[in-house]
Amino acid sequence: MNLEAFNKILLFWLIFYITPGPVWLAVMATTAKQNTKQIITFFLKVFLMVSGTIQLFQAFSSVIFIEFVTKVFGEIGFIFYFFGSGYIFYLAFKAIKAQQSELSLELSFMNLAIIMLLSPKIWILFPSGAVIANELNLGLILNASVYAGVMFLVSSLLFFFYVIVGKIGQRVLKDNFSYLVFLLLSGFGLFLFIEGIRVIL
């Protein structure tokens, strides 16, 4: 195995996941008021299942069909911007509604899967990481397996990192935490909507 290429993949995933986009904001809002048992249940039943299906599929597709994925996203990528922004606005609404009801945001398998499928960030950056993965020179399937495996490992570890960040935010901001999540999600949604308009102009 090309160790240098593997290290590049690991660095790629760390950079990709360390930015608190809609997925991590939704995770923080969902787990902020949950106890340890509820967090582990959410991790196993929702997050791990989505990460092990949707994102593994995206990672494999990006490595094996890199040219096709890049071409298709280049032609119809604006659709992801508009649908993605719309769904993020929906999540922002759910976050503020949960706050008003004094409940935690409920993030289901379907909610999280749709965010990942409609995220332009994923479809733009995954092919970039796939180029690095192909430097491993292990063959397409093994290259894709290493790429997807590192993604799965890094995302699982960072899940708990963002849970801790959310807990700290909830403790510091108290009732204002959900409003912060609402504003950040709305900001992401607006950014994607504007980017979508720029793509088609």
Quick: pLDDT tens for 180-192. 888 888 888 888 8
- Across the range 15-39, mean pLDDT stands at 84
Pick from 1, 9, 3: nearest CA to 129: 9
Give the pLDDT confidence score for residue 20 in this predicted structure.
67
Number of domains in the chain: 1
**Range(s) of the domain holding residue 152:** 3-200
pTM here?
Answer: 0.79
Q: Rounded to 10 degrees, what is the CA torsion of 33, 38, 44, 50? A: -40
Does 77 score more than 80 pLDDT? no
